[in-house]
Amino acid sequence: MQAGILRGMKRRTGMAPAARFCGTVRSEEKHWVQKRIFAGFLTVLMIVGYPGNSSAFFTASELVSAKKLLNRTDSVSVSAADTLELYAASAVLMDGGSGRVLYDKDGDTPLPMASTTKIMTCILALEWLESNPEALCQVSANASAQPEVKLGLVQGDEFYLNDLLYSLMLESHNDTAVCVAETVGGSVEGFAAMMNAKAREIGCTETYYITPNGLDAEDANGEHHTTARDLALVMRYCLTGSSQSAEFLNVTRTASYTFTNRSGTRSYSCTNHNAFLNLMDGALSGKTGFTSKAGYCYVGALLRDGKLLIVALLACGWPNNKGYKWVDTKKLMNYGLSEFELRDITEGTVRTEDIPVTNGQQESVATIVEELSATEVLMRADDQTVVRIEQFRTMEAPVQAGEQVGLVHYLVDGTEYATASIVTAGEVKERTWLYCLRELAEAFLF
């Protein structure tokens, strides 16, 4: 740089630079020349524009394109390579904690689900009861006319809604389901709309509800149906996602329950028919179902050694094979207990790169990964966690500390189970006119 300045001095004065720096030129003239150089340099800056306007820098549109990375999510269905001999036509074993499917036998095939439907009926009623704790149900002609299995509700009778949930879940009464639906949804059709909306919210993609009790039905939009995967998702929501999960467990785990109508003129007793609660240590909840079209169905959950396992079975035999569902359930639960262990997929250090900054007082900004709470997923010994990092290619000053600039995705078998934010570790101030003047002053005057 000094050589370039000397060449400029020679052009302006016609004198050899060596002579000027050997004391043959007065100090006043030297200062005059430095000022002329400094003024000329500022003039060039004003004509060309300060570095913030340089066409060599990245554009704002490139930054916008980079930010789109933050909205990208990839999800791939999980299907087990193992083959278990099961009676069920469709079956899923799910990790209730993460939602990961550990075993899948035609788990996305739409099939009727009989009274396993009632877990959705129950959870919606419980959530509605939060704001209507003393709600009463009045028995309609439609409710009292439902086929067996039924409580024997009498038209015009009144019950506390909370009492009827034990009839719904312990004995699987069809008339009770309709009475509950009409109270909560205004009508069976209105309640079915609530059921379908909740299913979509949960993430069910192949479920369509028509009835609150699961009796075979069909309308202009199709048949009453679900899939084993969707059924497991609904049970997972009942156990871990709903504000009324504790109440759901309380109802479905009750061995027996006695209640009366509101007037106290009729008394009813219910006994829990979920045999799975006594079949395995840690059995948590479940619901059976049967119609001539659906066959025997079951959805149940088990909690042992910190592992929450959910089994969903559809079309698991017809009479006289009522016990097939218990055989399949135990086989799948034992498979989950023996082959899978909880693993924190976010454990370990993830290194991220510095990001170049345009128009900044520094050339780049460091990045860090925000601390993420442990995310445990049931995995086999040969399962691997894949960590995918996406972050901006460049940023434009000013940059604030803690600004989100990317995401770290944690995946198992192509499905994402956790994400962590990548943020800037410090700030980068903008390269302003004042900053440029100060830098030039320091460079030429000092």
pLDDT of residue 446: 60
The predicted-structure confidence for 214-256, as pLDDT tens digits, reads as follows 999 999 999 999 999 999 999 999 999 999 999 999 999 999 9
Give the β-pairing of 295-304 and 283-291: antiparallel
245-253 helix and 118-129 helix, angle to the nearest 10 degrees: 120
> What pLDDT is stored for residue 82 in this prediction?
52
Ranges of residues in the chain whose predicted pLDDT is under 50: 1-81
Provide the pLDDT for residue 52: 36
The reported pLDDT for the residue numbered 78 is: 37
* CA 210 to the chain's CA centroid: 27
Q: What is the rounded CA–CA span in Å between residue 311 and residue 33?
A: 87
Q: Are 235 and 301 in contact (CB under 8 A)?
A: yes
